[in-house]
Amino acid sequence: MNEPLTEPSEPLWERSLKVTTAEQTHALGAALGGVLEAGDLLILTGELGAGKTTFTQGLGEGLGVRAGIISPTFVLVRIHPNLPDGPRPGGPDLVHVDAYRLESAAEIDDIDLENTMDSSVTVVEWGRDRVEHLSDSRLEVDLHRSVGAVPANVADSGGMVLDFDTGDDDEPRTIVFRGFGPRWAEAPKLLETTISEGGH
């Protein structure tokens, strides 16, 4: 077994973007998906309805993987294969993980993500403090709703945590990106461009 990786604890950079629609969240994910490579690890954090699934759907589009990305809450892991006739034929698959019910790094190890890490882009929702040991580099993406209210479809769920993003929920959000490790020594250019164009 490989030696445990030393997880970088301080980000090398941080960028904060504002989006006002679900479509913009999706588009930002798609732009980022276009520059991701096999072996990349993304950790998504955000309260209920913050847009994590919408963002991941955009990533999948940019990566050129099979459509149909939904929150993997009930299965923990979904693998979306690269499409040979998509925008990035031969590119990495997308491994989409929901770590909400996993309480430790050991439980993450039980689902064997090491087997797919090198050939895929791995996106872990609720992954903070659980998956950092999987790679010496990671991109953290925090999605914040401007209003802290829980969507009605969640509030009525009897206290259960069901993270179903509402596709037509167009309230403003702030998305914060942080880069850790050698892979993310510099922020992707698309984040700089988006900031300069959308800085009003």
Distance CA 197, CA 109 (A): 41
CA distances to 38, 42, 185, 188, 190 from 126, in Å: 21, 11, 23, 23, 25
Q: Which residues of 137-152 are buried (b: 16+ CB within 10 A; e: fewer)?
A: bbbbbbbbbeeeeebe
Higher pLDDT, 12 or 103: 12
pLDDT at 160 over 70: no
In this predicted model, what pLDDT tens digit does every residue of 170-183 receive, in sequence order?
789 999 999 999 99
In this predicted model, what pLDDT tens digit does every residue of 86-139 receive, in sequence order?
889 999 999 999 998 888 888 888 888 989 999 999 999 999 999 999 999 999
pTM above 0.85, yes or no: no
Enumerate residues 6+ apart whose C-beta is below 8 A from 13: 178, 179, 184, 186, 187
- Relative to beta strand 173-180, strand 13-19 is antiparallel
Enumerate residues 6+ apart whose C-beta is below 8 A from 148: 47
Residue 6 contacts residue 103 (beta carbons within 8 Å)? no
pLDDT band at 169 (very low <50, low <70, confident <90, very high): low
Bridge partners for 173 per DSSP: 19, 145
In this predicted model, what pLDDT tens digit does every residue of 34-83 receive, in sequence order?
999 999 999 999 988 899 999 999 999 999 999 889 877 677 899 999 99
Q: How many CA atoms lie within 13 A of 191 on its CB side?
A: 20
Percentages of the chain per state (helix, strand, coil), in multiples of 5: 25, 25, 50
CA distances to 37, 50, 158 from 166, in Å: 28, 9, 18
Q: Looking at residue 48, what is its pLDDT?
A: 85
Q: Looking at residue 100, what is its pLDDT?
A: 86
- Relative to beta strand 41-46, strand 120-125 is parallel
